Amino acid sequence: MWQIRFRIAIEIANALCYLHSSTSMPIFHRDIKSSNILLDENYAAKVADFGASRLVPIDKTKVSTMILGTFDYLDPEYFNTGKLTEKSDVYSFGVVLLELLTGRKSVWLDSSLEYRSLPIVFPSYVEGDNLMEILDKEVVKEGNLEEILAVVDVASRCVRPKGDERPTMKEVWQDLVALSNNHVQHQQEYEDMNSEN
């Protein structure tokens, strides 16, 4: 289950990286959320619903625009200023990544019947040394703890309130791929070691 979630995260990051930096004119999606990620029978992820997306001239890093997107995933800086940047998609991707890590929706009703926002409460779990309480039990059980903690770090950087403090989608994608390659290498070393015994 964790490896499938991790691969989904990499595929979404790859798609957004492509939109931001590999097209002739950058495209900001503006509505990245779990319901806009389609999965096929092999759990391959496809980013969907480009109805709110925006082409951005190459010479611009931000555009002023009417605020669109789903509130639970919306970059707070974009919401407050109306200035859309590539970091707005990074924030939304970070929320989806938190959902993959925790198995929770971006906003949920807790046991005291209060609404909780995942990107707002998650940092307190990281800083308070009680991260395991919010991570999905299946993720913890099936994943490599070092790898999970590295993905937690990526997600935490993506949902920082200030866009300037967030990585680009290219950096996010590179970090996740490096983690994935590291995992494959460790797995191969483990299998080689066991085959020698």
The reply to whether 59 belongs to the active site is: no
Residue of 31, 75, 136, 175 marked active site: 31
Decide: helix, strand or coil at residue 103. Answer: coil
Other C-beta atoms closer than 10 Å to the C-beta of 42 total: 7
- Rg for the chain, CA atoms, rounded: 17
Quote the DSSP letter at residue 133: G
Given phi > 0 = left and psi -120 to 50 = alpha, else beta, which region is 129? left
Within the chain, where are the H helices?
2-21, 76-81, 86-102, 118-127, 137-142, 145-158, 169-196
**Catalytic residue positions, numbered:** 31
